[in-house]
Structure 1
Amino acid sequence: MFRILMKALLGSLLRVLFRPQVEGAEHIPAEGPVILAGNHLAFSDSLFLTLVVKRPVYFIGKSEYVSGRGLKGRLKAGFFRGVGMIPVDRDGAHGGVAALNTGLRLLQEGKVFGIHPEGTRSPDGRLYRGRTGLARLALSTGAPVVPAALIDTDRIQPAGKKLPRILKVGVRFGKPLDFSRYEGMERDRYVLRAVTDEVMHEVMLLSGQEYVDIYATKAKAAA
């Protein structure tokens, strides 16, 4: 009930303030496991994905978001859990495995799992190489992958800005991608790379971003 209330209130607020233009929402299957794979421009990306999709969407978030103490900490934790965030310690030695296992469990339960294959926010608005955990989840569960593109969310709250700007944003969804032809090949690294690159190509077409064939973390380190 809290989740439904949060989505109703926040959804109404975001529609009034940011007037999100949603395209292709009909491509999201009405039932069964689905992976939403989107670009990553801003902190609010997962929030917009959650609020514009009719079905509940779950995504991975840092465990520190729900570990605060006191009233402020409890309110913050309630907010993130209410919008579908599953807290996972991604900084530990087994953080990546824990995140994948969480996604696997959600998909096996027939839920919608949102993921940003770039792994971190784009440092300059371009689209970067995707991590293959996305492909591993798709091949292990048989879930279709719906590519998604967030448009102009990075302009709402650029790095270093505390207060958001009121601007129109967009969310575009592409047709579901079926990778059943690779069934049983989730341990083949070449197949995993091919699947991930195909998804990122569709995201690029939807977003109109320039594609860079390196990981965003490497670009940030170099900068």
Structure 2
Amino acid sequence: MTATRKGRRSAALSRERIVEAAVELLDSGGESALTFRVLTERLATGPGAIYWHVANKDELLAVATDGVVADALAVGSEQSPAGPEDELRAVALGLYEAIAAHPWLGGQLSRQFTRNGPVVPRIYESIGRRVRALGVPEATWFVTTSVLVHYVLGAAGQNAANSASARTSADGANRADFLDAVSTAWEELDPDEYSFARAIAGQMRDHDDREQFLAGIDLVLAGLRLS
């Protein structure tokens, strides 16, 4: 293949299309489903055309993660332009829903934070700008933003893990069945040793994950107003 033909072929297969196909494979089968062999079959091309754009699977995973997060933050930013508090809620919810929609994303975000990947400053910038706009003292920008980032990713990741566990449960239990079973078990705990756990068991059974997540954001915001 001549250099000219190779260039045309690589240009026809864009980096964006490769990432889009990679995300589709990740969504359908997780990280193990994403191989260059399967990707070349999905794109009806040769491996050389893919390697023209990405060097290896690690780079492809990093680019896919960054792309999904960028889209989530952009959607969140567009949904609520009313003020920094509403924007912060919208951005946080955008990340929450992205992690829920892409079960592989939580693990990749953990890896990115361990390696200081490109997605880390992207998330900090988006949330931190709203923290700054709230009038938080500059000396506490990093701490405040970190609290919000870790809450968002932790809560969203845990929710996604719970959903994935329910989907793959051997007994076919769904979320409602799982929460009912856990709530019932808590209600039967020793009343002296677990008085609080017993008291909230019914609330656990009926709670809404999305509303609970946003309530956590509101608690942080309420604390900022008092500081």
Alignment TM-score, normalising by the size of structure 1: 0.27
Instruction: Identify, as 1 or 2, the structure richer in helix.
Output: 2
Q: In proportion to residue count, which structure has more strand?
A: 1
- Report the TM-score, using the length of structure 2 for normalisation: 0.26
| Structure of greater Rg | 2
- Report which structure shows greater RCO (CA 8 Å, sep ≥6): 1
